[in-house]
Amino acid sequence: MPPKRPSKANEEDPRKNDEPKKDLTEDHKVKIPPELVAKLVKNFLEDEGTKVSGAATKTVGEYMHLFLTEAVYRAVSNRRDGDPWAKTTNSGLMLEVDDLEKIAPQLLLDF
């Protein structure tokens, strides 16, 4: 006889069916516009003559998208013992500056 599964596993997550797992490479609904990315990068360049290719700008946009999303996920994960998807307990969780401070060092090392 198989061990009794915890009741939690039997609960149907209503979002699971109508929400297919997002492919990271699919176009994000929300993203930093490439024009802004290009301007920001240009703003910080030291040499006036340096140019940035369009494909490179797009990749930097993806890089920053990952950076920012990762920051939020890590902040939540940190507050929820490594499980950012603990939806049932997540509601009402308010992310504070403290949460960002805790994850910032490792985040910056990873990026």
Report if residue 50 touches another protein, rule: CB under 8 A. yes
CA end-to-end span of the chain, whole Å?
A: 48
Q: Running DSSP on this structure, what letter comes out for residue 24?
A: T
Distances (CA, A) of 77 to 46, 47, 73, 95: 37, 40, 6, 11
Largest CA distance in the chain: 72
Q: State the minimum distance, in angstroms, from the CB of residue 4 to another protein.
A: 28
Among positions 9, 12, 20, 73, the unique one binding another protein when judged by CB under 8 A: 73
Residues in contact with another protein by CB under 8 A are: 24-25, 29-33, 36, 39-47, 49-53, 55-56, 58-60, 62-69, 71-73, 75-76, 84-85, 87, 90-97, 99-101, 104, 107-108, 110-111
